[in-house]
Amino acid sequence: MYIDDGRRGEYLPYLPDFRGRAEIWNRTLADGNSDNQAPAIGVPGFAYVRIRNRGTKPATGVVVRGFQSRTPQAAIWPTDWKPLIPATLAVPNPIPSGGSSVVGPFPWTPQAAGESLLFGVSAVGDPSNLESVTAGPIPNARLVPLDNNTAQRTF
């Protein structure tokens, strides 16, 4: 499973700026449309994320976890992040090899310009590093571009 950041699930080239290309978007209504709408500070928004399966078998047990930055320019996982409510959405059906699914809406309310959303997708046998990095804080610059299951978008 992966969230496309422009590299189609690959790890190269390294993305020094990983905060804006991912298939994560905001809507002002929970309407399921896929065009990004600029969020407004203090106004509820609804985030969506497209997840993709580049594996050779259907992905099962797929869940997406979402987080909102505590402050603009969040740079450290997990210190600078708070879970969205709900924080986890399950994908009800397996995603076939080469297939994709849009997951959301994840309600959120921006508190300042420059806030980010961070998402991780996990499936049976393919966890996101958001689930496995438990040894302590890690810079997003190491976490996000080196795990295709994880993506961040700054608004």
Instruction: Tell which residue, 27, 23, 24, 29, has the closest CA to residue 8.
Output: 23
Alpha helices of 20-135 — where are they, by DSSP H? 129-132
Position 41, amino acid: I
What is residue 8's predicted lDDT score, i.e. its pLDDT? 82
Q: What is the pTM of this model?
A: 0.93
pLDDT per residue over 9-52, tens digit each?
Answer: 877 777 777 777 779 999 999 999 999 999 999 999 999 999 99
**What CATH fold (topology level) applies to the domain 24-154?**
Immunoglobulin-like (2.60.40)
What is residue 85's predicted lDDT score, i.e. its pLDDT? 96
Give the contacts of 71 (CB within 8 A, at least 6 positions apart).
Answer: 80, 112, 115
E strands of the chain, at which residues? Answer: 24-27, 45-52, 63-69, 76-77, 81-90, 100-108, 116-122, 138-139, 150-154
* Structure-token match 């420059």, residue found: 114
* Structure-token match 């065009």, residue found: 35
Domain ranges of the chain: 24-154
pLDDT per residue over 91-149, tens digit each?
Answer: 999 999 999 999 999 999 999 999 999 999 999 999 999 988 877 799 999 889 989 99
What is residue 53's predicted lDDT score, i.e. its pLDDT? 98
When pLDDT is cut at 50, 70 and 90, the band that residue 61 belongs to is very high
Indicate the burial class of 17 (C-beta count within 10 angstroms; 0-12, 13-18, 19 or more).
exposed
Q: Are 103 and 117 in contact (CB under 8 A)?
A: no
